[in-house]
Amino acid sequence: MDERLRRRLEVLVDEYDETTRRLAEPEVLADQATYRRLAERHAELRRIVETYQAHRAAEQELAEARELLAAEEDPEMRAYLDGVVADKTAELAELEDRLRVLLVPKDPNDDKDVIVEIRAAAGGEEAALWAADLYRMYQRFAERHGWAVEPIDLSTTGTGGIKEAIFAVKGKGAYSRFKYEAGAHRVQRVPKTESQGRIHTSIATVAVLPEAEEVDVELDEHDLDIETFRSTGPGGQSVNTTDSAVRITHRPTGLVVTCQDEKSQLQNKLKALRVLRARLLQRRLDEQRGERASARRAQVGTGERAEKIRTYNFKENRVTDHRIGLTVHDLDRILDGDLDRFHEALMADEAARRLAAG
């Protein structure tokens, strides 16, 4: 391990010790906001410190094995010590790689709740049916992680498809996983309505936005045009008979959000404001990163078949993530929300690229 990395780790060990001490202070225990912030930082540092401690222990054991080997004359004992040296050298390399990954700066939005938008794109009615499948897949994925799914707006077709679905996923770490789902998802399968059995290709797009709190994005009422209108589509009592749907236009940016899922005009307004804040936060993040295009456009592209992050092929029972070239032949499990294998590989790839960039 080079000295620069070691010095950085020693600084973090000192911070960990200081954080541990502060968590026991009465004034910190009495301030829930400060305590929560310190506890979260303590948990982040603990993973690094424990890994560094394991690295130092392995270094000590390697040094001792080499010292014994230098003085040992018995062939059997030398062979044993050679094995110890080899094992500890490999362990040190693995621990150092793990430390470098742990030191990659964390996305500050990773712990936020998310707002997900799914839209049927190229492929007509089959694209709408595919959007409905993705919606169910994400519901199951959230359920596997113990996250709550809250529908915000849903526009359906008469055959069970979805033209557009907007929903929130609430739970610690939701954005850290869902952000890898942003993009165009291509499906290749025989539609139920296809009598000739020909494989049809269609697209649904997914946008993933970190949910903004009011302190993240302040909205000036004077910048908003708020309209109400009668909800359309299927619904229960009063959904189609009262002006409960809400459309909000943010004049400075031209962003428009519509919500009609709730029977209450107030509830629809509050949900629409949540979506608007999320989109404005994403726009601000784009500007901070120096990106010209909005994140939603960058994520979903134009919805054409050539633009895709993942392909789901029913005939071959295959799912391929084109960003990392990973293919698995387990389509049913993927559609049942088993997405972690893709996310783990994507996180490792992202960490490697960020480390390479320095």
211 and 227 co-located in one domain: no
Q: Is residue 292 very low, low, confident or very high in pLDDT (cuts 50, 70, 90)?
A: very low
Q: Domain boundary at 54, 78, 102, which? A: 102
63 and 168 co-located in one domain: no
Residues 6+ apart with CB under 8 A from 150: 167, 168, 169, 170
Q: Is residue 288 very low, low, confident or very high in pLDDT (cuts 50, 70, 90)?
A: low
Closest C-alpha to 321, from 299, 342, 349: 342
Residues 6+ apart with CB under 8 A from 222: none
35 and 87 co-located in one domain: yes
Looking at the domain assignment, is residue 88 inside a domain?
yes
60 and 201 co-located in one domain: no
119 and 195 co-located in one domain: yes
Q: What CATH number corresponds to the domain at position 254? A: 3.30.160.20
In this prediction, residues 11-24 reach a mean pLDDT of 94
Looking at the domain assignment, is residue 108 inside a domain?
no
Assess whether pLDDT exceeds 90 at residue 303.
Answer: no
pTM: 0.66
Looking at the domain assignment, is residue 11 inside a domain?
yes
The pLDDT score that the predictor gives to residue 322 is 94
Q: What CATH number corresponds to the domain at position 196? A: 3.30.70.1660
272 and 311 co-located in one domain: no
Q: Give the CB-side neighbour count of residue 140, counting CA atoms within 13 A.
A: 15
Report how many domains make up the chain.
3
180 and 57 co-located in one domain: no
Assess whether pLDDT exceeds 50 at residue 235.
Answer: no
Looking at the domain assignment, is residue 109 inside a domain?
no
206 and 303 co-located in one domain: yes
268 and 309 co-located in one domain: no
171 and 269 co-located in one domain: no
Write the DSSP assignment of 245-262 as a string of letters.
Answer: EEEEEETTTTEEEEE-SS
Integer Cα distance of 46 and 53 in angstroms: 10
Integer Cα distance of 114 and 148 in angstroms: 11
Q: Domain boundary at 62, 82, 102, which? A: 102
Looking at the domain assignment, is residue 107 inside a domain?
no
Range of the domain at 22: 3-102
79 and 160 co-located in one domain: no
Q: Domain boundary at 51, 82, 102, which? A: 102
Looking at the domain assignment, is residue 293 inside a domain?
no
339 and 198 co-located in one domain: yes
Assess whether pLDDT exceeds 60 at residue 83.
Answer: yes
The pLDDT score that the predictor gives to residue 290 is 64
CA geometry: angle 209, 296, 166, nearest 5 deg: 55
Helix or strand (DSSP H, E) at 183: strand 183-189
The pLDDT score that the predictor gives to residue 307 is 65
Looking at the domain assignment, is residue 145 inside a domain?
yes
